[in-house]
């Protein structure tokens, strides 16, 4: 079940201005915004871009349940003029600050995807181990009845017995380039997202990429380097960016005051 984040500071001057321009009550203006954001969960990407949508599509959505006499296209124009929706030069529409408003939802999705992938890999590993074990037992088992061997057969030579096959070397996980000079496995990146949040994980990659690009240094493991000193550096310089999960739930709903996306609307 999906959810959206609505901070109490949205109930401020900017909301009253929207209500006056639309010609409705402040509560109805808030309802229009909340309905738009709920619709955005299925129609916007993580950056807030409304996929394959124009003003007519948004007008059709906001027209649902509004009071008689309100004009949907006028509502859309006011949402754009007051920067609840951002319109690019090419006509693309973005829900304003969507990645900030819905950060907790996307952190939850990232953690869920990472956990599902981890379980899938574990099931595949156990299945492969079981198959290798069964093949080894079949190859090493003796004949059903040794007495059936011909009388003139030579004496068994221990060197002729089939050798127990060696286990194949464990294949190292494939790494992906997350920046020009930084490469991580999907599992390593997933751990950073789950442990510190999407924004912090991307910041770790950015800091290490700039350092390696400017110094020419290389590391055997970019992931271990991030754990060694990059996290501490980011935490010192951007203390509010790192969001660690609480012990009770995979995602924390607590946000620092400094990361309040609605601060600009506070009266």
Provide the whole-model pTM. Answer: 0.38
Task: List CB contacts of 45: < 8 A, sequence separation 6 or more.
Answer: 51
Q: Give me the mean pLDDT over the 233-244 stretch.
A: 88
- How far is it, in rounded angstroms, from Cα 56 to Cα 59? 5
The pLDDT value given to residue 162: 67
Residues in the chain: 267
Rounded CA gap, 233 and 104, in Å?
23
pLDDT at position 258: 43
State the Cα–Cα distance between residues 265 and 157, nearest whole angstrom: 87
95 contacts 48 by C-beta, under 8 angstroms: yes
| Domain boundary assignment for the chain | 8-101, 102-127+171-246
> Given phi > 0 = left and psi -120 to 50 = alpha, else beta, which region is 91?
left
CA 184/CA 163 separation, integer angstroms: 38
The mean-pLDDT minimum among 106-115, 139-148, 240-249 falls in 139-148
pLDDT of residue 105: 60
Q: Measured at the alpha carbon of residue 144, what is the angle toward residues 138 and 149, in degrees to the nearest 5?
A: 120
* Chain position carrying tokens 């309905």: 35
The top-scoring range by mean pLDDT among 98-102, 133-137, 257-261 is: 133-137
Confidence of residue 6 (pLDDT cuts 50, 70, 90): confident
Q: Which two tokens stand for residue 6?
A: 């609505």
Cα separation values, 233 from 31, 39, 200, 211, 225, Å:
42, 38, 11, 12, 12
Q: What is the DSSP annotation of the chain?
A: -------GGGSSHHHHHHHHHHTS-HHHHHHHHHHHHHHHHHHB-TT-BBTT--HHHHHHHHTTTPPTT--HHHHHHHHHHTTSEEE-TTS-EEETTHHHHTHHHHHHHHHHHHHHHHHHHHHHHHHHHHHHHHHHHHHHPPPS-GGGS-TTPPPPPGGGSPPPPPPPPPPPPPEEESSSS-EEEHHHHHHHHHHH-HHHHHHHHHHHHHHHHHH----S-HHHHIIIIIHHHHHHH-TTT--PPPSSSSS-----GGG-TTGGG--
- Judge whether residue 260 has pLDDT over 60: no
Which candidate, 215, 159, 226, 219, places its Cα nearest to that of 192? 226
Q: What is the mean pLDDT of residues 174-196?
A: 93
The share of the chain scoring above pLDDT 90, in percent, equals 37
The band of 40, judged by pLDDT with boundaries at 50, 70 and 90, is confident
């Amino acid at each position: 079940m999906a959810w959206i984040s609505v901070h109490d500071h949205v109930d401020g001057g900017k909301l009253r201005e929207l209500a006056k321009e639309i010609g409705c009550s402040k509560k109805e203006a808030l309802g229009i915004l909340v309905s738009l954001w709920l619709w955005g969960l299925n129609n916007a990407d993580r950056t807030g871009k409304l996929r394959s949508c124009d003003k007519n599509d948004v007008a059709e959505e906001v027209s649902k349940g509004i009071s008689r006499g309100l004009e949907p296209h006028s509502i859309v124009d006011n949402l754009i003029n007051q920067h609840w929706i951002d319109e690019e030069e090419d006509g693309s529409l973005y829900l304003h600050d969507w990645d900030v408003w819905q950060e907790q939802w996307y952190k939850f999705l990232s953690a869920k995807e990472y956990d599902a992938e981890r379980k899938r890999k574990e099931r595949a590993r156990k299945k492969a181990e079981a198959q290798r074990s069964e093949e080894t037992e079949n190859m090493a088992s003796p004949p059903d009845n040794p007495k059936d061997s011909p009388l003139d057969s030579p004496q068994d030579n221990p060197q002729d017995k089939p050798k127990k096959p060696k286990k194949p070397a464990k294949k190292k996980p494939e790494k992906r380039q997350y920046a020009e000079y930084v490469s991580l496995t999907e599992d390593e990146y997933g751990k950073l997202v789950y442990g510190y949040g999407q924004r912090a994980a991307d910041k770790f990659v950015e800091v290490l990429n700039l350092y390696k690009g400017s110094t020419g240094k290389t590391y055997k493991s970019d992931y271990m380097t991030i754990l060694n000193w990059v996290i501490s550096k980011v935490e010192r310089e951007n203390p509010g960016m790192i969001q660690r999960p609480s012990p009770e739930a995979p995602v924390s709903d607590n946000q620092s005051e400094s990361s309040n996306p609605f601060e600009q609307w506070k009266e």
